Amino acid sequence: MLLSRDGVLAIGIVPPPFRMEARAHLRQAVREAAAQWQNLDIGAITVESTPGAPPRLLLAGRAASLSFSHDEGLSLAAIGLHGPVGIDMMRVQDIADWFILARDYLGPQVAQELAAGPDAQRPRRLAQAWTAREAALKCAGKQLAEWDGVALNCHLQAVETPQNFVAMLATIRGQTRRGNTV
């Protein structure tokens, strides 16, 4: 899966089952996709990770924004050439304490909207709200924290995934204008 938009590339892979191997495979897939996308030798591309800071992609010495998301059976990455990006995905599933989770991390308005909706649609809607918030937080360079009411200046776009997943891509508003799937 590849999604390309003015200066933003999102990729997805089916990773190996172990997290460390999944991380390594996704990083390699990012390097390969970026090399093809930017017409560069793969040796000129590195992934830089520092604990507590968003990862970066170095393209022939030029830094690009990078975001990752992993779940069992799927790994996603987004590259932003012109500014920060965030990507997040989640498996659609019933969560027993969904209301408390939504209220504490997505805010009271989202929790009420989820409570007012049909029960059968709640798992997908919760996953959509969760991945939108996580992707926006990543784009803003913030860590997951309980709801603080602060709006994040991000443009959100759903990313096509297998049926049992939901994913969102976040860019700074005005960073990208049009999109196409390749």
pLDDT tens-digit map of 12-71: 999 998 888 999 999 999 999 999 999 999 999 999 988 888 899 999 989 999 999 999
Beta pairing, strands 56-59 & 45-48: antiparallel
pLDDT in tens, 59-115: 998 999 999 999 989 999 999 999 999 999 999 999 999 999 999 999 999 999 999
Q: Residue ranges of the domains in the chain? A: 2-91+134-181
**Quick check: 1 and 12 in contact, CB under 8 A?**
yes
| The pTM of the whole model exceeds 0.75 | yes
**Quick check: 83 and 172 in contact, CB under 8 A?**
yes
Report angle CA 18, 166, 99 to the nearest 5 degrees: 100
51 Cβ neighbours under 8 A, 6+ residues apart: none
79 Cβ neighbours under 8 A, 6+ residues apart: 8, 9, 10, 30, 33, 34, 37, 57, 64, 65, 66, 85
The pLDDT of residue 6 is above 90: no
What is the rounded average pLDDT of the residues 115-128? 97
